[in-house]
Amino acid sequence: MTGFFGLAIVFAMVIGGYLWGGGKLGIIFSSLHYEMMIIGGSAVGAFIISNGGDTIRGSMRDVGRVFTGPKWKAGDYSDVLILLFELLRIARNNPVQIEEHIEQPEESVHFQRFPRILADATAVTLICDTLRAASMNYDDPHQVEEVIDKRLEAHLHHALKPSHALQNMADGLPALGIVAAVLGVIKTMSSIDQPPAVLGKMIGGALVGTFLGVFLAYALVGPFATKANELAESDHNFYMLIREVLVASLHGHAPNMCVEIGRQCMSSELRPSFDDLDTALRSESVAA
| Calpha distance 18→153 (Å, rounded) | 46
pLDDT above 90: residue 215:
yes
pLDDT at position 269, please?
Answer: 86
pLDDT at position 128, please?
Answer: 93
* Average pLDDT of the segment spanning 227-250: 94
pLDDT above 90: residue 37:
yes
The answer to whether 231 and 65 have CB atoms below 8 angstroms apart is: yes
What percentage of the chain exceeds 90 in pLDDT?
54
pLDDT at position 285, please?
Answer: 60
Q: Read off the pLDDT of residues 223-233 as tens digits, 9 standing for 90 and up.
A: 999 999 999 99
Q: Read off the pLDDT of residues 158-211 as tens digits, 9 standing for 90 and up.
A: 999 999 999 999 999 999 999 999 988 888 887 887 887 777 788 887 888 899
List the Cα angle 100/101/107 in 5-degree steps: 90
pLDDT confidence band for 139 (50 / 70 / 90): low
The answer to whether 255 and 249 have CB atoms below 8 angstroms apart is: yes
pLDDT above 70: residue 286:
no
| Calpha distance 93→74 (Å, rounded) | 29
The answer to whether 272 and 70 have CB atoms below 8 angstroms apart is: no
Q: Report the mean per-residue pLDDT for the chain.
A: 89
| Calpha distance 177→183 (Å, rounded) | 10
pLDDT at position 277, please?
Answer: 84
Q: What phi and psi, each to the nearest 5 degrees, are found at residue 217?
A: -70, -50
What percentage of the chain exceeds 70 in pLDDT?
97
Kindly report the pTM of this predicted structure: 0.84
List the Cα angle 260/262/266 in 5-degree steps: 115
Give, in order, the Cα–Cα distances in Å from 133 to each of 78, 101, 124, 128, 140: 24, 14, 14, 9, 11
Please name which of 285, 242, 234, 235 lies closest in space to residue 262, comparing C-alpha atoms: 242
pLDDT at position 288, please?
Answer: 53
The answer to whether 123 and 242 have CB atoms below 8 angstroms apart is: yes
